[in-house]
């Protein structure tokens, strides 16, 4: 049986439209802005573009983006496990 690449079967346009419909794109942009702000101000000793204190960690928001929070509400660095264990779902 020949190899079939599963990614070729995905409809990326439809996935993006669903993300826009759900409002996930706005939250994604807020997360990106927070990460970039931390990377811009933090020290980067190994020169890979990420702030050293953020490597291997997530940017967590005080009020979850899924609950209507923004970067203005505050964000901080937290381990991936702790951030994702909180289960901030809609």
Q: What is the pLDDT of residues 46-68, one digit of tens each?
A: 787 778 888 888 888 888 888 88
DSSP summary character for residue 58: E
Q: Residue 80 — φ and ψ, nearest 5°?
A: -60, -45
Each residue's pLDDT tens digit, 24-39? 888 888 889 998 888 8
Longest alpha-carbon distance in the chain:
53
CA separation for the pair 60, 68 (Å, rounded): 14
Q: Where are the domains of the chain?
A: 11-85
E-strand stretches of the chain = 57-61, 75-79
pTM for the structure as a whole: 0.61
User: Of 53, 30, 29, which is closest to residue 40 (Cα–Cα)?
Assistant: 53
């Amino acid at each position: 049986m020949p190899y079939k690449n599963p990614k070729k079967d995905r409809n990326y346009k439809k996935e993006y439209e669903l993300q826009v419909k759900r409002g996930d794109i706005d939250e994604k942009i807020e997360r990106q802005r927070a990460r970039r702000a931390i990377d811009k101000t933090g020290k980067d000793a190994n020169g890979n573009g990420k702030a050293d204190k953020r490597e291997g960690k997530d940017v967590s928001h005080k009020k979850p983006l899924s609950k209507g929070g923004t970067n203005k509400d505050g964000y901080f660095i937290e381990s991936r496990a702790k951030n994702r264990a909180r289960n901030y779902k809609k």
